[in-house]
Amino acid sequence: MTTQNHENTPVIPLPEAGARLTLAVGALATLASTFLSWTYTTDFPGDLTVTGYPGGLQVLTLAGAILTLIYALAGHGIRGFRWLNPAGNNTPLLLMALGTFATTWFTVIAIAIELGGLVNLDPGGFIAAAASLITLLAALALPLPRDTDPTTTPVKRATTPLFGTAHGRLKQPATLNSWAEIGIIIAVFALGLWIAAYGIQTPYGELFVGYLIITGFAFGAIARAGLTTRLQALTTKHRQVTIGAAFAAAAAFPFTQNTDEFTLLAVSILIFATVALGLNVVVGLAGLLDLGYVAFLGVGAYTAALVSGTTASTFHVTFPFWAAVLTGAAASLIFGVLIGAPTLRLRGDYLAIVTLGFGEIFRIAMGNLDGTSGPNITNGPNGIPNIPDLKILGFDFGATHNILGFTLGSYANYFWLMLICTALVVTIFARAGNSRIGRAWVAIREDETAATAMGINGFRVKLIAFALGATLAGLAGTIQAHVQHTVVPEMYVFAGPVPPSSAFLLAAVILGGMGTITGPLLGATLLYVIPTKLQFLNDYQLLFFGIALVLLMRFRPEGIVANKRQQLEYHETDQLAVPEGATLPEGTVGVSKAGA
């Protein structure tokens, strides 16, 4: 614990001061080690043989060491750094030291395994491993927030997960003028764009794993410091600026890429995220477990392909883009009503089984409409190939364009189109969720019997949710058909090695946070990027992926971006526990000791 002198300056006890000094020296040594050679051969990806210039995984260790030093300075109370740690505890410092240690030792172990032993390490690698270990041990020696004894104090805060929110009341930030706050918001989104672009274009799996490690711990440190709460207050205050900055940062992504390879990956992520947000209407708001949702994406894609003017279409018609979008969304809406009307009277597992059957029936039916097993509509297993690029108001989406001196390929055009589509879906979700029908969905999700007793027509409300979710998926499917230039039944399965699939869509909603907007978008991004980047794991890919999901569900079952109601439900034991007869402070939430 720190004390204060007569000048109100923090006074750090001697043991803690020694630990902080050791930590600072260790972090500086870790930082300096990234400018040394870690291995003498270039066989390891990233070329870690250069002295004086960090490369590959060394850059991630360098970033971790810098952030560790920043939080060490914030812990000393140095003006200008205290803003980054509103909670005023040492947990963010420990998390950054742990993240730097994990990234560094992962690199050292990867070098030893891939190159055949520790003899392949240069002195810089040993120095980095030792320095990061010393930094971590010094961080462990620092005092951390501890719970008080409920028998001696009227209020006790139970232990929360390491990656949860900050303890206690956040320190009031220094007053900033509006322009400074707007500048902070813009800087945060610019930094987020750079971090996201760096992660997407990582050229090899080892670098991506290190990226996941350091960014995961950095996010945990920021959350535990209370900085996310402070930034959320700024974005709420300047909502219009936040929306504009977020859209501008996303739109600038193609300018950060040199090739179309990762731009195509970003387009696929947007399609997957948009469909996941549509499923969030069904699962997150209305509480309906739909295991065949990817079929509605297929309905929209097949409809757009059939009216695209491709020579493989049996309809031989060419619709303009706006008409193709409306046709695909309408077809998905009709299928949603036709499937939902007879099945939504079921609940729970029975509804899940029926929707799973619908998904499989759609895939099999598309494979059988080949003129042999059924009418010749979809060309059966061969699908509908050669779907032409879109042309809107004379703008050819398949052509290369020069914008602001940058040469952008066709996938950049589709990225911007899909970004507009995603923004539209986000707007629809937000408006629907905050409307009267949205509150009815939440009521049905929480307790359908009680909601029905209060006068809500459960069947009609659920059917609206099912139809809206299907429409949003069909909307994304119309663009997917033109991006992929082909549509085949195997693209719409329940579970597959690569999303989109119904299982991955459902996992994205649950992982990101049901009932939220940013949750499914973030969950879909992670679930699409991780399998794509971890292909080097081959047969072990799904094993590590499953372990990560289990750990996340154990420590944060409400998802990465938590809905406040569900966060309270999943962490009932983390609320304020109060002994019998004690009085809670005004505005707090708690349970009695007997009830706990």
Residue 245 CA: distances (Å) to CA of 11, 17, 240, 256, 522: 41, 41, 9, 16, 17
> What is the rounded average pLDDT of the residues 306-324?
86
Whether the per-residue pLDDT at 456 is higher than 90: the answer is no
Q: Identity (one letter) of the amino acid at 225?
A: A
* pLDDT for 295 beyond 80: yes
pLDDT single digits (tens) 125-161: 999 999 999 999 999 988 876 543 333 333 333 333 3
pLDDT category of residue 593 using cuts at 50, 70 and 90: very low
Say if residue 33's pLDDT is above 90: yes
- Give the relative orientation of helices 123-140 and 57-75 as an angle to the nearest 10 degrees: 30
Quote the distance between the C-alpha of residue 163 and its chain's center. 15
Angstrom distances, CA of residue 323 to CA of 132, 167, 386: 59, 53, 19
User: Which of 324, 338, 280, 216 lies closest to 473, judged by CA?
Assistant: 280
Task: Write down the pLDDT at residue 566.
Answer: 62
Q: What is the pLDDT of residues 92-118, one digit of tens each?
A: 899 999 999 999 999 999 999 988 888
Position 106 scores a pLDDT of 94
Q: How many CB atoms lie within 10 A of CB 580?
A: 8
pLDDT of residue 158: 36
Average pLDDT over residues 489-508: 80
- Please tell me the predicted confidence (pLDDT) of residue 591: 44
- Predicted model pTM: 0.80
What is the crossing angle of helices 321-343 and 458-484, to 10°? 140
User: Phi/psi zone of residue 159: left (φ > 0), alpha (ψ -120 to 50 degrees), beta?
Assistant: beta
pLDDT of residue 31 exceeding 50: yes
Per residue in 394-432, pLDDT (tens digit) is 788 888 878 777 778 788 888 999 999 999 999 998 888
Instruction: Report domain extents, the chain.
Output: 13-144+175-181+195-225, 252-562
pLDDT at 596: 37
Rounded Cα–Cα distance for residues 315 and 332 (Å) = 18
Q: How far is CA 103 from CA 131, 183, 397, 461, in A?
A: 13, 31, 41, 49
Residue 174: its pLDDT value, please?
55
Q: Are strands 576-578 and 590-592 parallel, antiparallel or unpaired?
A: parallel
pLDDT, mean of residues 218-231: 87
Short-list 491, 464, 463, CA closest to 476: 491
Q: Which residue has the tokens 């309905």?
A: 299
- Continuous segment of H or E residues that includes residue 592: strand 590-592
- Check: CB of residue 328 under 8 Å from CB of residue 301: yes
- Token digits for 393? 């108001």
Reported as a single tens digit per residue, the pLDDT across 169-183 is 444 555 677 888 888
Report the pLDDT value the prediction gives residue 164, as an integer from 0 to 100.
Answer: 40
Measure the CA angle with vertex 472, ends 466 and 473; round to 5°.
90
